[in-house]
Amino acid sequence: MPVNVHALRLKPGMDLKRSVADFAEKNNIKAGWVVSCVGSLTNYVLRFANKQDNNAADGYFEIISLSGTVSANGCHLHLSVADSSGKMTGGHLVVGCFVYTTAEIIIGETKQLEFTREEDGTTPWKELQVKEIEGKV
């Protein structure tokens, strides 16, 4: 499966989730994934497992990992960060995480698939649906 690679750098004050989603839309990425991300944040907003409310903190945080699916049809991203003492936390990325110095992000993409997010009856949420693009597989 051929893979295209995109690289972007976010600058101070940019929103991590919004920026990845905007990049996917601008570049018409239909089936992508985060390969790598390093950088820092001035805060985080995460939703922890099986919780309805978001959890947020202000400070300075190193991005340890960003993972997930990326598509103009919707992104699903998880973030791990470490504070100044090295304590790590992670969860579902929510809008409102702002870059401190940089976020260097590498995104892989295939044109042979399309990712969408739809309710399929297996859960109450819109979940990943993977579609093969005819003539591309």
- Each residue of 18-63: pLDDT tens digit? 999 999 999 999 999 999 999 999 999 999 999 999 999 999 999 9
Domain presence at residue 101: yes
Domain presence at residue 135: no
Domain presence at residue 12: yes
Give Cα separations from 43 to 12, 57, 76, 97 (angstroms). 12, 6, 19, 6
Domain presence at residue 132: no
Domain presence at residue 91: yes
Q: What is the 3-state secondary structure (H, E, C) of 81-137?
A: EECCCCCEEEEEECCCCEEEEEEEEEEEECCCEEEEEECCCCCCCCEEEEEECCCCC
- For 92, the domain range is 4-113
**What residue type is assigned to position 14 of the chain?**
M
* Stated pTM of the model: 0.94
Domain presence at residue 122: no
Domain presence at residue 100: yes
